[in-house]
Amino acid sequence: MVGLINLYSKEGHARSQEEEEFLTAVATTLAGVIERKKLEKELFNASEKWSKTFDSIADLIFIQDENNTITKVNRSFAEAMKSRPEDLIGKKCYKLLHNQDAPWNNCPFEDTKSDMKPHTEEVDDPNIGVPLLVTTSPILDDNGKLKGCVHISKDITERKKLMKELEESKDNFMSIVQKSPGGVVIVNSEGTVDFVNNSAEDLFGRKADDLVGSEFGFPVSEGKAEVDIIRGSCEKGIAEMYVVETSWEGKKNFLISFFDITTIKMAEDTLKEVNRRLHKLNQMKSEFVSVVSHDLRTPLTSIKNAIQLMITGKTGALNDTQKRFMSMAERNIDRLARLINDLLDLSRLEAGKIELRFSGVDIKHLMQYAVETFKPRASERSVQLGTDLPEDLPAVRADSDRIEQVLFNLMDNALKFTPEKGQITVSAENMGDKVGVKVKDTGVGIPADDQRHIFDQFYQVEDSLSRKTQGSGLGLAIVKQMVEAHGGEISVTSQVNKGSSFFFTLPVFSQKPPETEVFEKEIQQLMGNPAFSLIGVKPGQDGMTGAKSPGGPGIWHANQIVEIIRKVITRSSDRIIYHPDFDLLIIALIGTSKKDAEDIKERIVQMFMQNPVSGGAFPAVLGPVCYPDDGAKAGELFKKIHNSAVKT
């Protein structure tokens, strides 16, 4: 339906069949007119779009009929000919370009006329003045007969110049290759060595005469790999091998670079051992802090209770001096209790043992409560405490008690370092998928050098006011780790004597599981790439339970399966994404063809064979599938991987 005709009759009589047929004919005619107008408009728009695209192409293009008469030119061609487009229409191409009365001898259009196929020819006619790469593509009518062709010319002056320079620099290139500190080997498509440089001779302890013509001995596929080698000293070593497909003496070959990384690997092993020991020491420190803090809490509680009994007079009357000292002791016990609590929180956060009870939290209400709590203290110090909270703040995904602790720490800090008649403002903003919270003061500020370390444990800024308000140096370290444990970020901006602003974010509350949210964000980023291949890894019967340890949105680390995959997948652009619905690891290889992905899949399978997953069945390696060839949507690609379910 393209429209509706409403007819009204004053008499209200029923229409005759003749009237009905007439009205139907009118409606049909009007519908045809409307449809034709719509088609005319669409055709006009398409023509306009085509013309703009045609004129925007940098190559020199013209269209000619079967008699070599130019019928249309683009802007680039007209500018190159220093003419208006309309002045070129109707001219013979051979007369205009070659100043001849007949088609040019090497004209590719003559070949196109013969076989109705595109042809490309390098044209270097003195009449034109510059070398061109010319391609002619046939235009056929509905019966398959030639109507003309599209003539595309590209100025290859620079390319010709570069080719000449490349030829002239071949000797220089060979000299550079020979002097390269890394071993360079050229291997042909049959796997035979065609060339080695001096460094390769030294690396393998063999002369070029022995190596050239011999079988290479390593699997050849583009990319980077670590290989075991026998060094010149007959000792075992490790080399990093880079393979690039290239052309050598006009044939397809592989350029392979070797770098001896034996010493680096030994250093890495030493560093890993040092890190392991440091990790163990840090773990011991955290356990020690936790145990000592727990052990201190019990006697401290007993001391506090005893002092409170004495202050209230339940153990006998105290004079004013005794009450003053007892109150001082109580304040210091409270301070010590806060320090113990901070140490416990920090040790739990570092050990990943802090228990967070996530729910949808009314962040606006929580901030208002924090401000009301601090108003009496602010009033005592003649500091103005205010809020700037919008009405549309969504609920955040958070542990209410812990975010209250974050707010209290930031506001306590702001109050400590803001002098009398200063101002503290607590504000928030809706940032779409997260909420930003800011605590801003007009205090002493933080020097630029100190801002880099302000969230470090036990770090304190040295100035006169901070010395008067000394703390443990743990508050901001706890705040940072607590915010990051919620999936947020925190930052500080400050100017000395003007004030500081602490800003942190929290994710907006959603009914979706966190794994699903992370997955959706990863996929959104992935689909922004023009091409990629996907490989799936399905774990054994225990699945991914207990193996998830996000080191960033959707990226998996610190579990055995991913560590094994990472031995093959080394590029920073490639991603490993967890699919929560299929309990599947998706390896996304950016810019990788399906053929290359097949090779990578085989290497992953081999790596699993060499490094069995402890306590689990052999993982299934699925795919690959390629975007956009195997599917235009992420869901299609994932289903193809999941449904293949071919166990290796």
Residue 313, CA atoms < 13 Å, CB-side half-sphere = 4
pLDDT at residue 385, rounded to an integer = 93
For the 514-645 domain, the top CATH level (class) is alpha beta
Backbone angles phi, psi at 341, to 5 degrees: -60, -40
Mean pLDDT of 593-599: 89
Give the number of other Cβ atoms within 10 Å of residue 611's Cβ. Answer: 13
Q: Which CATH superfamily is domain 57-160 in?
A: PAS domain (3.30.450.20)
pLDDT at residue 646, rounded to an integer = 44
Beta-bridge mates of residue 230: 236
61-70, 195-204, 401-410, 454-463: least confidently modelled range: 454-463
For the 181-265 domain, the top CATH level (class) is alpha beta
Helix (H) or strand (E) holding 184: strand 183-188
pLDDT at residue 395, rounded to an integer = 93
Q: Which CATH superfamily is domain 359-507 in?
A: Histidine kinase-like ATPase, C-terminal domain (3.30.565.10)
Q: Tell me whether the CATH fold assigned to 359-507 matches the one assigned to 514-645.
A: no
pLDDT at residue 156, rounded to an integer = 84
Range from 73-77, 419-423, 474-478 that averages highest in pLDDT: 419-423
Reported as a pLDDT band with limits 50, 70 and 90, residue 548 is very low
Is residue 532 within 8 A of residue 569, CB to CB? The reply is: no
Mean pLDDT of 112-139: 85
pLDDT at residue 252, rounded to an integer = 83
- Tell me: pLDDT of 442 over 90: yes
Is residue 360 within 8 A of residue 509, CB to CB? The reply is: yes
CATH architecture observed for domain 274-350: Orthogonal Bundle (1.10)
More confidently predicted of 45 and 516: 45
What sign results for the dihedral spanned by CA atoms 25, 28, 34, 35? negative
Reported as a pLDDT band with limits 50, 70 and 90, residue 262 is confident
Give the C-alpha separation, 64 to 76, whole Å. 16
- Kindly state the DSSP code that residue 398 receives in the 8-state scheme: E
| Domain residue spans of the chain | 57-160, 181-265, 274-350, 359-507, 514-645
Is residue 421 within 8 A of residue 380, CB to CB? The reply is: no
With pLDDT > 90 as the criterion, what percentage of the chain qualifies?
Answer: 15
What amino acid occupies position 124?
D
Interval 241-256: pLDDT, tens: 888 888 777 778 888 8
pLDDT at residue 349, rounded to an integer = 66
With pLDDT > 70 as the criterion, what percentage of the chain qualifies?
Answer: 84
pLDDT at residue 439, rounded to an integer = 95
pLDDT at residue 312, rounded to an integer = 82
Q: For the range 373-377, what are the long-range contacts, defined as Cβ-Cβ under 8 Å and sequence gap of 24 or more?
A: 373/408, 374/408, 374/411, 374/412, 374/415, 377/415
Beta-bridge mates of residue 228: 238
- Tell me: pLDDT of 647 over 50: no
Name the pairing type of β-strands 384-388 and 423-430.
Answer: parallel
- Kindly state the DSSP code that residue 478 receives in the 8-state scheme: H
More confidently predicted of 361 and 526: 361
Mean pLDDT of 491-506: 93
In this prediction the pTM is: 0.42
